[in-house]
Amino acid sequence: MLFIVCALHCEARPVIEALGLKRDSTSNAFEIYSSDRYCLIVSGMGVINASSAVTYLLTKNLFDNHTDMLINFGSCAGKEPGLYLINKITDSATGRDYYPDLLYDLSSYGLPITSERALVTSYKVVSGLEDPDKLYEMEAAAVFSAASRFVSPHRMVFLKFVSDQGVDDPKEITPEFLTACASTYTPALLEVFRALSLMVEPVTRFDEELFRKTCEELRASKTMTHQIRALFTYAEVSGQDLAALLSSLHEEGKLPARSKREGKVVLDEIRNQLL
């Protein structure tokens, strides 16, 4: 699942429409739009809204650090128009820096490492660019800070498009203008989303039902249960057929064990056969 955090509905609209996301009617606190692969939350502007939205999103949906990604997407102020990948986020109020892990090569999706920028999260709309090499917006530091309790830094991606160079009057940036800007970058974003959604890490899983049954048949204590779990995992990763071994112990009448003591003896035999 890709979880997307976007400050404003007008920024998110082109993505919502392109991905065909449907409004989640069970969510009252925040606007959430989702499909079977995407879940987008409209956080509202500023750090408080952003951290609340991220916390809400990640507690409502259990984030899986092997399969899921958290993406913060939105507009920012910067020197030159473009879509940028963020490699450093500075909270302007606290001075604290946050670093997403940039492990994946997204150059074939329009985001080479030359597209990376440092970003400053400001607590108000910026009227100019204090450092012209940096980008300025109002949520990313809070997104990172709140998400870092749940999410690995390589599973957080910050994508920002430049809408302006800083304005004296926030009203100059209209919703229609932001929607138009977001629309420009939506095809590129969808490509990046597609790439990120494929980044799934393998997880070792064994037959839980067989594990539970084996624990019962060995009359396992808590300590023995831990040992059996370790043996199941080892058998799985070392490519050994534990099911066949247990089956032969059944045929020999050693399973199920008649007592805990007998279970220990059989467990030793399983261990010896696996090693």
Tell me the CA end-to-end span of the chain in Å, nearest whole number.
Answer: 39
Helix (H/G/I), strand (E/B), else coil: 239: coil
- Of 60 and 229, nearer to other proteins (C-beta) is 229
Say how far apart CA 78 and CA 165 lie, in whole Å: 5
- Of 191 and 262, nearer to other proteins (C-beta) is 191
Say how far apart CA 187 and CA 106 lie, in whole Å: 15
Shortest Å, Cβ 248 to other proteins = 18
What pairs with residue 5 in β-bridges?
Answer: 41, 72
Shortest Å, Cβ 227 to other proteins = 7
Residues at the contact surface with other proteins, assessed by CB under 8 A: 65, 87-88, 97, 99, 101-106, 108-109, 113, 116, 118, 148-149, 151-154, 195, 198-204, 227, 230-231, 233-234, 236-238, 271, 274-275
Shortest Å, Cβ 151 to other proteins = 7
Shortest Å, Cβ 26 to other proteins = 28
Calculate the alpha carbon distances from 209 to 119, 215, 216, 246, 274 in Å: 49, 10, 11, 13, 20
**In sequence order, which residues have a C-beta less than 8 Å from that of residue 47 and are 6 or more positions away?**
91, 121, 123, 138, 139, 141, 142
- Of 61 and 148, nearer to other proteins (C-beta) is 148
